[in-house]
Amino acid sequence: MVLVGRILVVLAAFLVASGVAACVITLGMLMEWEGLLRLADTSAGWLAVAFFGAIISAKGLLPAMLLIALAEGLRIRSVLFYAAAGGVGLVALYYGLGLGDGGPHELVRRDLEIMAGAGIAAGFAYWGIAGRKAGCWHQPEAPSLGA
């Protein structure tokens, strides 16, 4: 029963971390596109948060779950591990989606900084919810009273 509860906490933490990453990405992009968004309705920003949150959650689910399973199994509770893994993971996801090529189709000028910052923020959020208690579902072995 403890393991099922832990899985639910990990999934909830992953969803919150994806939302945090989406907000950071959206805010970073909105700073670049500030002139365009002044002419548009303010609801475009929230639509962008939802869009990036869905992409980050869907595309990053498998690699993140493998990393989370490794951290849970090895009981890694370091905040620096989760922040670094988040930053490297989102930069790798950015290149994996083919967005890191640059050129004339570049979305923003500071794209790698935004992605690394979003990953670090997501890593901190995940650590705050689930990572600081990684591996707590392991039951300590009872000492044997026999010979």
pLDDT digits (tens, 9 = 90+) for 56-93: 777 777 888 888 888 888 888 888 999 999 999 888 88
Residue 134 reports pLDDT greater than 70: yes
Q: Please answer whether residues 117 and 20 qualify as being in contact, where contact means their C-beta atoms are separated by less than 8 angstroms.
A: no
- For Cα atoms 81, 93, 136, give the angle at the middle one, nearest 5 degrees: 35
Burial class (CB in 10 A: 0-12, 13-18, 19+), 100: middle
- Tokens for 99? 């967005």
Residues 20-28, mean pLDDT to the nearest whole number: 83
Higher pLDDT, 9 or 30: 9
Ranking 13-17, 21-25, 45-49, 50-54 by mean pLDDT, the lowest is 45-49
